[in-house]
Copies of this chain bind each other. A is one copy, B any other.
Amino acid sequence: MGSEVTLKHIAEALGISAMTVSRALNNRDNVDEKTRQRVLEKAQSMGYTPNHVAKSLVSSKTYTIGVVIPEITHAFFPEVVRGIEEVTNSSSYQLFLTNANEKFEQEKKAIKALRSKRVDGILISSSLTVEDYSFYKQLIQSDTEIVFFDRCVENIGASCVSVNDKISARQITEHLITEHGFTKLAYLSGPQHVSVGRERYQGFLDAMNKHDIPLVDKWIIEGGFQEKAGYKAMKQILDLPRDEFPEAIINVNDPSAIGAIQAINEEGLSIPDDFAIVGFTDDIRANLLKVPLTTVHQPAYEVGKRAARKLLDSIENEDEPTENIELLTTLKIRASCGCNS
């Protein structure tokens, strides 16, 4: 009820002007030290909270940045957020997270809300169902600074921080081919209109081409980034006659792999004896699984840090250049692909 205390209230209580109160509270030097003390005490005792809404209206700066993540329960993203926070915590910017739940509609809604709130910049990892790049283009032309991370939209004028998805996917595929001699490879892919879906699939194709291994349509299934997608795709493979089974399953990410593993277990089959399987992410669960998962470790924390830094730099420096920053991954060889270690 009791409407909030304003500068004016403090001023009246003290018999001085609102302007002086403002100056005192903002630590300007042109205010008498005694006056400042009186103001500070009064503000404290009256429970004053500065109204940033009003402040922002004047300054057209909110010292707020928005983050749009596609799926908060995919452990990779919370880790990225931690990295972002490391940067923003030592700056004067406040962070607002929004979750798109892999839906582009929700993502658009979140971005619009952030823009309406006049955040100074937005970090975006685009959602599963993203389809309308013109939306991003319009966004980039506005006053709001944008930096993409992980799932990038390239060459539309915004910087991007990601990992070398294509090469990493090629490497993990080649590991299966050269170290294990597998030639029957299935690929449970992500959607091709999302950069990481596309890049990782390309890496898989590169490896197959290089080793002259033919692609088998029924083993290449476009699913999604979530567990249920991996589960569903694997079910499709398990429905094949047994002599048409692949030897190894390559997944677009770890959640997909975990879903696939569940499907395999339900069928009473085992890893790595019946299927070798690999993921991509190095999810917190990867190393804890009954059969630890071979995967590509992504430096999530670092991705967050770099993206946040780039965004703050772009906000504070008019002519910060646009760039694509690619961080490096590490292959994590574990038991799920049939290795000893």
A residues bordering B, Cβ < 8 Å? Answer: 1-4, 47, 49-54, 56-57, 60, 62, 64, 72-73, 75, 78-79, 81-82, 85, 89, 94-99, 101, 106, 110, 112-113, 115-118, 138, 141-143, 258, 284-285, 288-290
Contacts and interface: CB of A to CB of B under 8 A. Distances in A.
B96 A96 contact: yes
Contacts of A113: 52, 94
Nearest to A291: B290
Contacts of A50: 116
A307 to B, nearest CB: 16
Contacts of A62: 53
A289 B289 CA distance: 5
A33 to B, nearest CB: 25
Contact of A116 (B3, B52, B89, B95): B52
A64 B66 CA distance: 14
A53 B118 contact: yes
Given A72-B82, A116-B49, A285-B284, A98 B99 contact: no
A98 B95 contact: yes
Contact of A97 (B3, B96, B289): B96
A78 B72 contact: yes
Contact of A57 (B54, B110, B142): B54
Nearest to A143: B4
Contacts of A290: 288-290
A284 B54 CA distance: 43
A3 B60 CA distance: 10
10 shortest A-B CB distances, which residue pairs? Answer: A97-B97, A52-B116, A96-B96, A94-B113, A72-B78, A73-B78, A53-B56, A53-B118, A49-B115, A53-B57
A50 B117 CA distance: 9
Given A57-B57, A78-B78, A138-B47, A101 B72 contact: no
A206 B288 CA distance: 33
Nearest to A318: B1
Contacts of A284: 73, 75, 285
